[in-house]
Amino acid sequence: MKFLCAGADLVEGGSRGFDIDGKKLFTVRRAGQAYVYLNRCPHRGVGLEWHPDQFLDPSNSLLQCATHGALFLIEDGECVAGPCAGQSLTAIPCREDAQGLWIDV
């Protein structure tokens, strides 16, 4: 397991991008749970963020690809609208403890 960030660095309803060992990742917190995904849209292989650390749609309820507007569920990365509907983001196994968020890369 590799340390990603302190738990306090990922606020509720927030998202944050990372570059770990050359892999572009992002994390988002929803209902107290942290989710980590590879920052790569299954449609064109591009990063999702609009601006640094901005991976959510305007309502903060879905992940959104800035390139083609594809929408993904936060909880499992499934694309529910857009050119890659039915495909999913690549989830990165993670756990959180008192030190922070850890990922299995």
Q: Coil, helix or strand for 9?
A: helix
pLDDT tens string 34-66: 999 999 999 888 999 989 999 999 999 999 999
Confidence grade of residue 78 (pLDDT, cut at 50, 70, 90): very high
Question: What pLDDT is attached to residue 67?
Answer: 92
> What residues does 78 pair with on adjacent strands?
88
Question: What pLDDT is attached to residue 50?
Answer: 86
13, two tokens:
């309803």
| Model confidence at 12: pLDDT above 90 | yes
d(CA 47, CA 3): 22
d(CA 26, CA 23): 10
93, two tokens:
């196994």
**CA distances (Å), 1 to each of 10, 21, 62, 86, 93, in order?**
18, 13, 27, 30, 9
Domains and CATH numbers, the chain: 2-103 (2.102.10.10)
Pair 35, 19: CB distance under 8 Å: no
Torsion of CA 93, 16, 70, 86, to 10 degrees: 10
Question: What pLDDT is attached to residue 57?
Answer: 95
